[in-house]
Amino acid sequence: MNRRTAKGMRLFLLGLLAVMLLGGCASHPKLDPVAPDRSANDGNNQAAGQGSNRTANDGSGQAAPDPDADSAPEDNGQDPVQPGDGNSGTQTPATDGRQAGDGGSDQDDASLGAGQQTGQNGEPMKPPVDEGTYDATLIAVGDIMMHSPQLPGALDKHTGLYDFKPFFEQVKPIIERGDWSLANLETPIAGKSLGLSGYPRFNAPPELADALKDAGFTIVTNANNHALDRGSQGIAMTLAKLQKLGLVTKGTARSRWEADQLTIEKRNGISMGLLAYTYGTNGIPLPKNQPYAVTLIDEQAMIKDIHRLKAAGADFITIALHFGIEYQTTPNEAQTKLARALIAAGADIVAGSHPHVVQPYEFAEVKNPDGSVRKGLIIYSMGNFISNQRGDTKDFGVIYQVAVHKDHGATTIGSVKAIPTWVHRTTVKGLNHYAVVPIASALASKTKPFPEMSAADYGKLKSTYAVVAKRIESLRSKPVHLQAAP
């Protein structure tokens, strides 16, 4: 091999070596796959208000007390409910560890993003915009009461059990229209073990919950002035029965953990955040070791709760509010001031109860900083849905049917229909029987709907209904204009 050939061969080999080295540097090293961190995902899902459904016992080993049992659980001051024993429906833990409604600290709002995914610059990543269009319906009614005269006619003497399902048979088709169907339960349902009683300190049979479930209700709030009529035992047994049936509850709690939960119920692609508060508990103090047992009205704490729900992914917020003056047919200044402040702060619907008579509803138009307008609905009082109270319109209530629409991530309150109801009470062989009647359709019937009534009583019913219907709609045409709270 001559010198020139040898030199050419060396150059060729050096070039080949360079190509191999460059190719090796350009290739990426192979890494074994790593399993995803499930705990990190769980935290993000809950922060977005999409945690798993929790029932009265989800396998954590601690079941809530059963109100059907012969004896009540001992109230030893311990928190009977631990994580895993909360409400049915989507429950999102609070991120700041405070009890719901206690106002929290100045860091509450800043801590809401804990657990969220962040981008390269450390800022929270915005969730993708929902491009879908969705529609859902909220049904809401007022006070579910159980006075002593309502019990005997519902008792089966052979079984010793109560059947309250006939109370709601005529309105069941309306209640079942709701994607969310809400009622205010104004009595504990702790049963015989804690003593059945009516006014002034109520306690009803647990079968009342079965009747509510059968009627189509899906949500029961019980932040009201009778929540503590059987103490913390009554609350524990009431919640256990309701949640055993799969009903979502709000307004009372057995533990601080349970009180801390955010309630967000998703139906048809729309997430409703739910809150519930009462003005008081008839002078019965909250248990010293359970100050979270009943959620009380505190405007600043309520506004913080609204913000927490929004941050957790609620598309709209409904507040069940037990307030006002009993038997007053128009809202007072305290009612209007509080309800409008909550709407301005971000709530969308206020569903009022307590006066035991219906009060009007009104629309609110909230102007946002960007100039857009948000629609709110304030129902000052839905009256009695079922009770033994008679006269002065105490035997009238109203079912609200509210359309909710979501389009490309923006949720709005649509049409509102008020359906007045009347409690039809008859007496057979000394026993009272009750039925909640959609009164407008009953009176429009070609056949006499209440054959036992005299012509005079029938005429009085028609005129009273006209008064109630006019009262309900009296504020509809005059929306109140509000500025969105900062």
Query: Mean pLDDT: which of 33-37, 38-42, 114-118, 386-390 is highest?
Result: 386-390
pLDDT of residue 98: 35
pLDDT mean over 41-49? 32
* Confidence class for position 126, pLDDT limits 50, 70, 90: low
Residue-level pLDDT at 446: 87
Tell me which amino acid residue 117 is. Answer: Q
What's the pLDDT tens digit per position in 237-292? 999 999 999 999 999 999 999 999 999 999 999 999 999 999 999 999 999 999 99
Give the pLDDT confidence of 285-330 residue by residue, as tens digits.
999 999 999 999 999 999 999 999 999 999 999 999 999 999 999 9
pLDDT, position 12: 58
pLDDT above 70 coverage of the chain, percent: 73
Side-chain half-sphere exposure of 411, counting CA atoms within 13 A? 28
Ranges of each domain in the chain: 129-483
| pLDDT given for residue 66 in this prediction | 36
Work out the burial of residue 75: count CB atoms within 10 Å of its CB; fewer than 13 is exposed, 13-18 middle, 19 or more buried: middle
Q: What per-residue confidence (pLDDT) applies to 324?
A: 98
Give residue-wise pLDDT tens across range 418-430: 999 999 999 999 9
The second-level CATH assignment, the architecture, of 129-483 is 4-Layer Sandwich (3.60)
